[in-house]
Amino acid sequence: MKIGELSRRTGVPTRMLRYYEEQDLLHPGRADNGYRRYPESAVYRVQQIRGLLDSGLTTEIIRRILPFLNEPDEIHLHPQCLTPELAELLEAEASRIQQRIDCLSRNRDAIRAYLAAVRSAGLYNVDSEN
Amino acid sequence: MKIGELSRRTGVPTRMLRYYEEQDLLHPGRADNGYRRYPESAVYRVQQIRGLLDSGLTTEIIRRILPFLNEPDEIHLHPQCLTPELAELLEAEASRIQQRIDCLSRNRDAIRAYLAAVRSAGLYNVDSEN
DNA sequence: TGAAACCTTCACATCAATGTGAAGGCAAGC
DNA sequence: GCTTGCCTTCACATTGATGTGAAGGTTTCA
C-alpha cells in the first residue's frame, strides 16, 4: 500500500511515517515512480511504534529492540546472533520497561481507587441526568 | 529540606526541580531567606513525577491527576469535589495509562520470549567464561 | 487536456523537557 | 573576614518528536 493509505489506517501523519523511516524503524520498498510501498504488516508495525513512543521509549531504543519483537525471522532465532552484549541490552531494556509498567500500574490503581472511594461515599450519582 | 538535598536524594537536577515547580507539580514552602523548603514527602513525589514523565505522560496531565494520586486529603475525598467532568477526565486518563501498560507488557513479553527461545536453543551459553 | 488528489524532497518552525551559564545573595568553616 | 558552596532568578541553547509549507512530479478521472 502507499503512504497515504497507511496513514489513514493508522492515524499517523505521512510526515511521521517518513520520519520513522529516516529513523530506521520502517523500511518500505519503492515502486517504479519512487513511491513508497508498504506491506500489510506495516499497519501493526506502525501501531506498535506509536505505542512504544507514547510510552516514553525513544526512536533509538525502539530501533534496537524492534527486530526482536515481532519478526519470527529464522535469522534472529539462531543463537549465535545473540551476543552477550545484545542479550544484556535486551535484558536491560526489558527491565526498564518493567519499571514503567510498575509505575503506571501503581498510578492507575491510585486513580481507580480514588474514584471508587469517592463514589462509594454515595453523594455523587454516576447516573445523574443533570 | 533544601533543594540541593532533594536533588541528591532523587538524582534530579535542581534545574528540573525548579521547572517542575513552575509547572505546578511541586509546591515547596520558602524560608526567610527565600530558599525553597521541601517536606520529606517530596522525595517520593519527585520519584513519582519522574516515573510518569519517563512513561510518556506530560507535565500537564501529571499536574491534573497528581492531587488524586497520593494525598489522602480529606478535601479531595468529599464526593462533591468530583464533578462529572473530572470523573471523566480521570477515567480517560486511567484508560490511556492502561493502554500503555498493555503495550509495554506485550513488548516486554516478546523480548523475554525471544531471549528464552534463543537460549533454550542451547548454543549460547549464559555462563560462558570467554 | 486539465483539475484534483496523491506522491516526492527540502526546509524551517514549534513544543516539551532538559542543559548550561551568568550575575549575584546567603551561610558555614578556617 | 573571606573563601567556598549552595542558593536565587533570568535567559539562551539543545534535543526529540511533530507541524507546516513550498515546489514540483504522478495518477485518476471527467
Q: Are strands B36-37 and B29-30 parallel, antiparallel or unpaired?
A: antiparallel
Using the Cα atoms of residue B103, residue B107, residue B108 and residue B113 in order, give the sign of their dihedral: positive
What residues of chain B lie within 8 A of the CB of A51, using their CB? 99-100, 103
**C-beta atoms of B119 and A79 within 8 A:** yes
- The helix (H) or strand (E) run that includes residue B29 is strand B29-30
Confidence of residue B126 (pLDDT cuts 50, 70, 90): very low
Nucleotides on strand D lying under 7 Å from protein C-beta: 6-9, 11, 16-21, 26-27
End-to-end CA distance of chain A: 48
A54 at the B interface (CB within 8 A)?
Answer: yes
Q: Which residue has the cell 526489558?
A: A94
For B94-110, the pLDDT digits (tens) are: 999 999 999 999 999 99
Q: Angle of helix B41-54 relative to helix B14-22, nearest 10 degrees?
A: 80
- Give pLDDT tens digits for A100-119: 999 999 999 999 999 988 88
- Which of the four pLDDT bands, split at 50, 70 and 90, describes residue B119? confident
Measuring from the CA of residue B34 to each C1', which nucleotide is nearest?
D8
Whether chain A has a CB inside 8 Å of the CB on B55: the answer is yes
pLDDT the model gives residue A79: 67
- The answer on pLDDT for A27 being more than 60 is yes
Inform me whether the pLDDT recorded for B84 exceeds 50: yes
**What is the DSSP track for B50-115?**
HHHHHTT--HHHHHHHGGGTS---HHHHSGGG--HHHHHHHHHHHHHHHHHHHHHHHHHHHHHHHH
Rounded CA separation A111/B68 (Å): 6
Q: With 70 as the cut, is the pLDDT of residue B89 above it?
A: yes
- Nucleotides in chain C with any atom closer than 7 Å to protein CB: 6-9, 11, 16-21, 26-27
Q: What is the mean pLDDT of residues B68-85?
A: 73
- Classified as helix, coil or strand, A111 is helix
pLDDT for A99 equals 97
What gap in Å lies between CA B112 and CA A19, rounded to an integer? 28
Measured between its terminal Cα atoms, the distance across chain B in Å is 49
User: Helix, strand, or coil here: A29?
Assistant: strand
Contacts of B104 in chain A (CB under 8 A): 52, 55, 97, 100-101, 104
Mean pLDDT, residues B14-40: 94
3-state secondary structure of B45: helix
Q: Is B12:B47 a contact under the CB 8 Å cutoff?
A: no
Most B CBs within 10 Å: which of A114, A125, A129, as the mutation test of the B interface?
A114
Chain B residues within an 8 Å CB radius of A128: 84
Query: What pLDDT is recorded for position A128?
Result: 42
pLDDT for residue B77: 66
